[in-house]
Amino acid sequence: MELVESIEALRAQLGSARVSGRRIALVPTMGALHQGHLSLIRRAGADGSLVVVSVFVNPTQFNDPADLAKYPRRTEQDARDAAAAGAELVFTPTAAQMYPDGFNTSIRVGGVSERWEGASRGASHFDGVALVVTKLLGIAGPDTAWFGAKDAQQLAVIRRVSADLNLPVQIRAAETVRDDAGLALSSRNALLAEQDRGAALSLGASLRAAADAVRVGERDAAALTARALDTLTDAGARPEYWAVVDPVSFEPLERVEAGTPALAIVAAYAGAVRLIDNLRLA
């Protein structure tokens, strides 16, 4: 594994790999790698592709400077973990490289970015995601780019950007990885206090209960949402939203119908930590 800090060095390494016939797979991350990230890396390299993992805490997608400041950073450990999972290159650009003096470009994705996470975290959040991912795709020029399904709305935004801009890359997703108790793995889990773990587990519990209800005939999204909110609040979580949505447009659905894709999504606070999760219902 080689740690690469500059855009020019990364392009040189990848250019040599392409000349030799290698496919390139990119796994964009903000670091603090966990088993979900490592699963992505393993999946990305399963076909023999050269896997490059980017580790960059992107300032443009944080609307709260305090949230940016406390985001966990552990680059050396991340590089070791990425290498153990099969990454050959770890790209660690600085903010100055990604957004040099005079940088004045933005990307706005309408529709899919405007509700839920876009509303809770501010319009700049998905603007920042779209911008940094587009830059990373332009820098690395990968054949495939891999993302986790836990950040479902982010994945939908990235797919929209890729389709709308005709980017020459296949956007791939891997299923959410959970711990033994059902908690979706997240870099933010490291910030959880032990007394808030029950509240954190209620996010996944509310989703699984909704899926069980659908399997036995419940179709009304409002009823599913009401039960889910009770599950969250009973466990001490503070919900921001719980909804049933179309997984492509993220428009809310009134009913879960057989043959029509439906995704349950949730954001809630467990203590001071904001968590998100989702689960397909149909």
What is the per-residue DSSP string for 212-251? HHHHTT--BHHHHHHHHHHHHHHTT-EEEEEEEE-TTT--
Q: Which of 4, 5, 10 is nearest to 24 (CA)?
A: 10
CA 139 to the chain's CA centroid: 20
Task: Fold for 2-174, please state it.
Answer: Rossmann fold (3.40.50)
pLDDT tens for each residue of 172-189? 999 999 999 999 999 889
Give the pLDDT score at 159: 98
Which pair of structure tokens corresponds to residue 229?
Answer: 């909110």
What residues form the annotated binding site for ATP? 30-37, 148-151, 177, 185-188
Q: What is the mean pLDDT of each run of 10 residues along the chain (282 residues)?
A: 95 95 97 94 97 95 83 90 98 96 96 95 91 98 97 98 98 96 93 96 98 98 98 98 98 96 98 97 94
The pLDDT of residue 1: 86
Q: What is the pLDDT of residue 73?
A: 87
Residue extent(s) of CATH 3.30.1300.10 domains in the chain = 187-280
**What stretch(es) of the chain map to CATH 3.40.50.620?**
2-174
Round to whole Å and give the CA distance between 22 and 142.
Answer: 10
Report pLDDT for 79: 94
**What was the pLDDT predicted at 221?**
98
Catalytic residue (choose from 10, 13, 26, 37)? 37
For this structure, is 125 an active site residue? Answer: no
Please state the residue numbers annotated as binding site. Answer: 30-37, 61, 148-151, 154, 177, 185-188
Within 10 angstroms of residue 176's Cβ, the number of other Cβ atoms is: 19
Give residue-wise pLDDT tens across range 46-68. 999 999 999 999 998 888 888 88
Closest Cα partner for 36 from 240, 185, 173? 185
Second CATH level (architecture) for the domain 187-280: 2-Layer Sandwich (3.30)
